[in-house]
Chain A
């Protein structure tokens, strides 16, 4: 049982490049979410999904796209990377679509640097 798997663990991009951060869970969880963590800012919600085919915006969605074609996968896309998107990105999931009702399972993060 792998839990929540994020790939890659580290990535360096140049401004303007695009990339996709992968998140996969093998627990049949309905709810999945993406956060970014910056020094002194805690975790901020980017996008979330309450099930396959359903996504919505969080607190800081600008510059990011998501899709949820399967229950297992929830990729995060940066269409045109900017230095302000340098951060550590975390994916989380839970069975209950209301995340306050259940513990969230987190991946180990993707550390992204944009030059």
Chain B
């Protein structure tokens, strides 16, 4: 079963707008990662946030983590057409089972020029 679930399933915005997508997970985790997948390509790592961190930035990306709500959000500011892709969160259970990284079903982001 999938640990993380992204919301919304699809998001369409205009260039220059901000895009926010969310990830909810079910059980305690060590870290949470976000990935991007361009059409027809493999996944590319964007950012890793640890369970003791609340917010992390990387360029135009801002990730938050709320362990009490078991949720994370990915904000892309000043979006560009090149940001069009699917975005996935990935988690592993804390403790002895964290050799298995599970992915959500993804959010498909379309940025219109």
State which of A11-19, A64-72, A75-83, A95-103 sits at the interface with chain B: A95-103
Inter-chain contacts of B102 with A (CB < 8 A): 45, 59
B101 adjacent to A42 (CB under 8 Å): no
**B27 sits at the interface (CB 8 A):** no
A45 adjacent to B100 (CB under 8 Å): yes
Interface residues of A, count at CB 8 A: 30
Measured between alpha carbons, how far is A106 from B44 in the docked complex, in Å? Answer: 7
B44 adjacent to A97 (CB under 8 Å): no
A109 adjacent to B101 (CB under 8 Å): no
Question: Chain B interface: which size bin?
Answer: 20 to 34
Known: A42-B104, A45-B100, A100-B29. A90 touches B91 (CB 8 A): no
A99 adjacent to B92 (CB under 8 Å): yes
Q: Which 7 A-B pairs have the closest CB atoms?
A: A103-B45, A106-B42, A100-B92, A42-B105, A99-B101, A43-B103, A106-B43
Q: List 6 A-B contacts (CB under 8 A).
A: A4-B42, A50-B99, A90-B43, A99-B92, A100-B90, A100-B98
Not counting A40-B105, A42-B88, a sample of 10 additional A-B residue pairs whose C-beta atoms are within 8 angstroms of each other reads: A4-B42, A42-B2, A42-B103, A43-B43, A43-B88, A100-B29, A100-B90, A100-B91, A101-B30, A104-B33
